[in-house]
Amino acid sequence: MAIREIVYMGDPVLRAPAEDVTVFDKDLGALIRDMFETMYHADGIGLAAPQVGLSLRVIVVGLRGHDDGELEQQPLALVNPIVTWESKEVAKQSEGCLSIPGLEEVVQRPVSVRVEAKDPDGNDIIVEADDLLARALQHEIDHLDGILFIDRVSMLKRRMLLKKWKKIEAEASVDTG
């Protein structure tokens, strides 16, 4: 297992539509284990393969305990996931992204979704999710289509976020010399 390097907004891999996985082999298993390790190390609740520089349709999600007493969810690794149903009911909640550290904004999304995917062994699975898990799945599946959460806020908020990101980027490059 290894912690992989997370790529940041500005890297073209985050904007490219990712490719379907066609081979379910040991390499895929190793990638998924690394993605979990990378996600937990970065204290995230979800990670998509493009965020570690690989344009493949693979996501992992791992929710832990929450303040509101919501139960922990089993860690999920989904390959070639597709949202096949979403609720009409929507909710607004603040989101962040490991590829855009330092930025957060409220994003509106359907409260519930059904996702069809393969598991790491290539078996069909269906996940029905609500609330935070549904939100995490939608956020990660967006990554596979080159979509970031800042694309799902108003133009005005997006402009403010991009301005803030430029500042964060500039400070980071000063820090590293």
Q: Any contact of residue 9 with Ni ion (CB under 5 A)? A: no
Torsion of CA 154, 159, 162, 167, to 10 degrees: -140
Is 140 catalytic? The answer is yes
Buried/exposed 107-144: b ≥16 CB within 10 Å, e otherwise: bebbbbbbbebbebeeeeeebebeebbbbbbbbbbbbb
Q: Any contact of residue 161 with Ni ion (CB under 5 A)? A: no
The least CB distance from residue 122 to Ni ion, in Å, is 25
Q: Which of 86, 140, 169, 171 is catalytic?
A: 140
Q: Any contact of residue 52 with Ni ion (CB under 5 A)? A: no
- Smaller CB distance to Ni ion: residue 24 or 55? 55
- Smaller CB distance to Ni ion: residue 97 or 134? 97
Q: What amino acid occupies position 66? A: H
- CB proximity list for 82: less than 8 A, separation 6 or greater: 115, 116, 117, 141
The least CB distance from residue 114 to Ni ion, in Å, is 21
**H or E stretch covering 161:** helix 155-175
Q: Which residue of 39, 58, 97, 115 would you call a contact of Ni ion, by CB under 5 A? A: 97
- Smaller CB distance to Ni ion: residue 46 or 120? 46
- Select the span of 17-25, 35-43, 65-73, 95-103 touching Ni ion (CB under 5 A): 95-103
Q: Supply 37's token pair.
A: 């390790």
Contact (Cβ atoms closer than 8 angstroms) between residue 61 and residue 133? yes
Q: Any contact of residue 79 with Ni ion (CB under 5 A)? A: no
> Contacts with Ni ion: how many residues (CB under 5 A)?
1
Can you give the binding site for Ni ion, defined by CB under 5 A? 97
